[in-house]
Structure 1
Amino acid sequence: MTTISQTAGRSLRPSSSSGFFRALASATQAMLDRLERRSAVKTLNELDDRALRDIGINRSQIEDAVYGQFKAELSRYL
């Protein structure tokens, strides 16, 4: 009788490179998200108070709006 091993064709050493690349991709995405949000905060800070009022926020709410903590009041405009 012939037995086929399930490990045939697989390396005996566990592959840690896939976990490394997954972590690297996740860290890269987090960094890009942070840079994008920082850019949004900078752009909104450059607006005058009238323009901010037009979009429904005041200067003290810019970071909350960008980082998603201001959803309740903004949801009525969406």
Structure 2
Amino acid sequence: MSTLEVDQSGEIGHVHHAKRQVLLDFMNYLKASGYLRFSYPMPNQERGEGWMMFLYEPLSQEIIDGFEA
């Protein structure tokens, strides 16, 4: 899992990556883009590896594509 994985198929979206720092950078990018409805990164308990965070509001594809890890 080397790329940022964004899943917005459910009521609450989620983002996954192997490295916590990438999600922290993504979180800062979202803040700078005016998007403030997300959780802090946490260990991915479901997969047993990597990190994840929740999105409480849909992101545009433009914002997702604009992030460079």
| TM-score clears 0.5 | no
Higher RCO (Cα < 8 Å, 6 or more apart): 2
Query: TM-score if structure 1 supplies the norm length?
Result: 0.28
Higher helix share: 1
Query: TM-score if structure 2 supplies the norm length?
Result: 0.31
Higher strand share: 2
Instruction: Report which of the two structures shows the higher radius of gyration computed on alpha carbons.
Output: 1
